[in-house]
Amino acid sequence: MPRPDDRKPRRRRGDRRGRRGSANSSDGNRQRRRERGGDVREEIVRLGGAKGSRYYDQLMKAADAYSRDHERDALRLLRPLRDALPESPSVRELMGLAQYRLGHYPAASKELEAFVELSSSVEQHPVLMDCYRAQRRWRKVDACWRELTAASPGADVVTEGRIVAAGALADRGRMDEAISLLTRADKKIAKPKPYHLRLWYALADLEERAGNVPRARALFDRVRREDAGFADVAERLAGLR
């Protein structure tokens, strides 16, 4: 199935407003519970009956297309699967992520809502939040953020949700709250993980937008020192000198 670091929506790569796609964001550890592949096969075979093996092979082809950035090919394979297996969380999840990548936010949110209902999982809440954010459905963003923090699935997923929640606050003109939300999670880390870099990048972006240039410069430089090729950090830092 798709790799965890593979959720970025293609047409939003240059969006500097803090959307998940702007900082090479991850797919919320999309297949953390499924990396073995066996539970996905079991799910599809159980739901598909006699056609289960064929459906599973088709799902794997769709996942491969998605991993190669061929989202439309993935959707072509997934639509008949969704019609045949509407109760499959794996199918609805992947279809939602493919729609998200293409910037089809209403369609993506519909599929990811189904995934949540079928799986009771919050792993894709950061993506669902960003779909709602793109549609300016602020109450939905806030509700998902509360659910995510209550479930606390892991620091990486919570951090991704935090970035989206902060971006949504900034979109509504609540910049101080947005900065505060990210600052609360900005702690000294001996060995930063990719999600730490995304947090710093998002916070630097907000600080720059708020006019706090020295703070923004320091945060962008922190990201650059860990990974000089991260997103457009070199360009952003150069623009602040």
Nearest by Cα to 163 from 197, 119, 199, 204 = 199
Q: What is the model's pLDDT at position 154?
A: 93
Write out the chain's pLDDT in tens, 241 residues. Answer: 543 344 444 333 333 333 444 333 445 444 444 444 569 999 999 999 999 999 999 999 999 999 999 999 999 999 999 999 999 999 999 999 999 999 999 999 999 999 999 999 999 999 999 999 999 999 999 999 999 999 989 999 999 999 999 999 999 999 999 999 999 999 888 899 999 999 999 999 999 999 999 999 999 999 999 999 999 999 999 998 7
- Per-residue pLDDT of 150-168, as tens digits, reads 998 999 999 999 999 999 9
Q: Are 37 and 131 in contact (CB under 8 A)?
A: no
- Per-residue pLDDT of 133-149, as tens digits, reads 999 999 999 999 999 99
Q: What is the model's pLDDT at position 102?
A: 97
Assigned architecture for domain 10-187: Alpha Horseshoe (1.25)
Average pLDDT taken over every residue of the chain:
88
Task: Extract the tokens encoding 179.
Answer: 């900065």
CA atoms of 120 and 97, how far apart (whole Å): 17
CA atoms of 53 and 68, how far apart (whole Å): 23
Q: What is the model's pLDDT at position 241?
A: 74
